[in-house]
Amino acid sequence: MTAKKTIAAETVAEAYLTLMAERGIEYLFANGGTDFAPMIEALAAINEKGTTPRLKVVSVGHENVATSMAMSYYLHTGRPQLVMFHVNVGTANGINALIDAARDRVPIIFTAGRTPITEQGLKGSRDTGIHWNQEMFDQASMVREFCKWDYELRNAEQLEAVIDRAIEIATTEPCGPVYLSLPREVMAQKIDGFTFDPAPRRGFGTEPGPTEDQIARAAAILAKAERPLIIAQGAARLAPSAAAIGDFAERFAIPIVEFRTNVNAVSTEHPMLVGFNPLPHLKDADAVLCLEADTPWIPTQHGNPPDDCKVIQLGVDPMFQRIPIRSFPCDVAVTATPAVALPLIGKAMEAIATLKLIEGRRARIAAAKETAKAEIRANIEKASRDTPINPVWAAHCISEAKGDDAIVVNEYSLILRYVNFKEPRTCFGPPGAGGLGVGVGSAVGAKLANPDKTVIAVVGDGSYMFGNPTAGHYVLRALDLPVLFIVFNNGMWEEVEGSALRVFPDGHAARANRVPVAQLGPNPHYEHLMAVYGGYGERVDRPEQLPEALKRALHAVKVEKRQALINLIVGRRGAAP
Ligand SMILES: Cc1ncc(C[n+]2csc(CCOP(=O)(O)OP(=O)(O)O)c2C)c(N)n1
């Protein structure tokens, strides 16, 4: 039994904020309102008393940016953070990124004030008109579908239990956000010190384990397969899983497709990485190992693997129970992280795998990779003189300029096939749920988590606007964090246009000069925004200008320590080769 610890907290809010820091939460990303009165008073008290550990508080001008920052910070560090917003309205603004976090299994302690319950009589009772208008019968109902747990703090006595339950549930696999509402009177309540357990006996970070039977059946399928395929998707959220995927694939010579991945699991130089698209690998496979893949392939685009192909679904919740309809085949489900399961499957395969099969495959994959490299080089050469700038050429130039350990946050526009990522976990893609507008905040969170690394955000002009860029640039300026933004400005929502043409290939929209809704022109001078934030901005509309422009912008970021933005006038991505 560890000794209890007592702190000289004067209010519930002060005890709450101190206990969060004691439990390892580093940041409070905040966007406040009248509900924050007790929090503000408590933070000032904590500062005045020099209490440690202490949360670092960052005021963020939009809740979606703040939530994206918390999401990204976790993906880089493995450590969940705290956000707090203004009652129901602030909650509403953060829900887009919350949906992304939920689908990508990112734990966030997502909190909001709750309008004062009492109309008068208590410290913190209602004192402005909005306190009636902001009350809801069930504030948490707004987020319940995307939070694993929700609760309202009702009194001081329950504080430690509530905080520990929130962290325990958020960090237990499958991880995800939890929601806590904090009424003003409860937070303002006076207390005379606060006593808690500094080493709680709780199940923080609990993981499921695979059964022996799951491991044996998966190993039997993979050992026998001649043309196995790994489809890796959400697995590299956890750094040990990324390493395990690379090791396992190399050992047994199994090609990896990183499809819709939000964090790259392996280096692009990994001998088994064959690309980012299940085509053409899926149609020949006789076994597919899906790693944390909610959508291992898209039947209407990629077809399905052959009927006799065995499919293994491996993940902490391999059935993705929170997705209402999902009908991908599953011959064996393995309930574990890749970090835990793959070494066990590998061990079980040792005795039954055939070396000849493995080495034959290794040689074939190496040859196919050489062919693909030649095609990539030819495509780059072909794209290099196109105006407007071809996204293939842009991707290549970014690849050449960025440096090996740079972190790239890609919201939509970067064609990964043309970019080298020497290190695993350096390419952070759009979240699986596709709630756009998280790229800007994710870049801020990435830089916060990796102050010594170059962080580059590659965003579409649409995604950039969704990202509340003024709030993002403001935080970077306030915290002195330099990030390079490359806005792929095609003056449209190409994806929206593309989806209309996919569904109606011979329709009216396909024949129209301008596809309705999807056009964003005329292209704004986004580079001028840098003047507002003391950054470096440049517009680039010719392909030969891009390499030097990237050097200038990276110089601004790395040497001058200023944020920078390249407004890159690009053409359509189309079905880029
Ligand atoms: C919050 C949100 N609203 C709308 C969409 C639908 N949507 C998907 S892609 C896209 C266009 C994104 O534009 P841009 O970033 O410029 O990329 P482009 O498609 O032009 O390459 C839109 C609006 C979405 N995914 N998320």
Q: Write out pLDDT tens, residues 361-412.
A: 999 999 999 999 999 999 999 999 999 999 999 999 999 999 998 999 999 8
Question: With a 6 A CB cut-off, is 38 part of the ligand 1 pocket?
Answer: no
Whether 574 shows a pLDDT value over 90: the answer reads no
Question: With a 6 A CB cut-off, is 434 part of the ligand 1 pocket?
Answer: yes
Give percent above pLDDT 70 in the chain: 100
Backbone φ and ψ for 191, nearest 5 degrees, come out as: -135, 165
Nearest ligand 1 atom, CA 490: 20
Does residue 412 contact residue 490 with C-beta atoms inside 8 Å?
no
The token duo for 41 is: 């008073």
Per residue in 347-370, pLDDT (tens digit) is: 999 999 999 999 999 999 999 999
In this prediction the pTM is 0.98
Most informative mutation of 392, 487, 493 for ligand 1 (most atoms within 8 A of CB): 493
Question: With a 6 A CB cut-off, is 526 part of the ligand 1 pocket?
Answer: no
Measured CA to CA in angstroms, residue 200 lies from 23, 87, 151, 164, 167 at distances of 9, 29, 20, 8, 11
Q: What is the pLDDT of residue 1?
A: 65
Nearest ligand 1 atom, CA 495: 19
Q: What is the pLDDT of residue 523?
A: 85
Question: With a 6 A CB cut-off, is 437 part of the ligand 1 pocket?
Answer: yes
**CA-angle at 200, arms to 198 and 202, nearest 5°:** 160
Average pLDDT over residues 468-487: 98
Nearest-CA neighbor of 426 among 396, 466, 462, 455? Answer: 455
Q: What is the pLDDT of residue 387?
A: 95
Nearest ligand 1 atom, CA 460: 15
Q: What is the pLDDT of residue 248?
A: 98
Per residue in 175-204, pLDDT (tens digit) is: 999 999 999 999 999 999 999 999 999 999
Most informative mutation of 496, 497, 523 for ligand 1 (most atoms within 8 A of CB): 496
Question: With a 6 A CB cut-off, is 495 part of the ligand 1 pocket?
Answer: yes
Chain centroid offset of residue 413 CA: 16
All residues at 6 or more sequence positions from 80 whose CB lies less than 8 Å from its CB, including other chains: 25, 70, 74, 106, 107, 108, 109, 167, 170, 171, 175
Whether 254 shows a pLDDT value over 80: the answer reads yes
Does residue 573 contact residue 413 with C-beta atoms inside 8 Å?
yes
For atom 17 of ligand 1, the residue with the nearest CA is 460
Nearest ligand 1 atom, CA 498: 19
Average pLDDT over residues 115-130: 96
For atom 6 of ligand 1, the residue with the nearest CA is 496
Per residue in 92-118, pLDDT (tens digit) is: 999 999 999 999 999 999 999 999 999
- Using DSSP bridges, classify how beta strands 5-7 and 194-196 pair: parallel, antiparallel or unpaired: antiparallel
The mean pLDDT value of the chain amounts to 97
The token duo for 272 is: 């088994």
For atom 21 of ligand 1, the residue with the nearest CA is 494
Whether 292 shows a pLDDT value over 90: the answer reads yes
Does residue 456 contact residue 408 with C-beta atoms inside 8 Å?
yes
Does residue 412 contact residue 394 with C-beta atoms inside 8 Å?
no
Q: What is the pLDDT of residue 522?
A: 83
Q: What is the pLDDT of residue 2?
A: 80
Question: With a 6 A CB cut-off, is 413 part of the ligand 1 pocket?
Answer: yes
Does residue 269 contact residue 250 with C-beta atoms inside 8 Å?
no
Residues 449, 445: Cα–Cα separation, whole Å: 6
Q: What is the pLDDT of residue 576?
A: 76
Per residue in 17-54, pLDDT (tens digit) is: 999 999 999 999 999 999 999 999 999 999 999 999 99
Question: With a 6 A CB cut-off, is 439 part of the ligand 1 pocket?
Answer: no
Q: What's the pLDDT band for 514 if we cut at 50, 70, 90?
A: confident
Question: With a 6 A CB cut-off, is 497 part of the ligand 1 pocket?
Answer: no
Average pLDDT over residues 299-308: 96
Nearest-CA neighbor of 96 among 118, 123, 64? Answer: 64
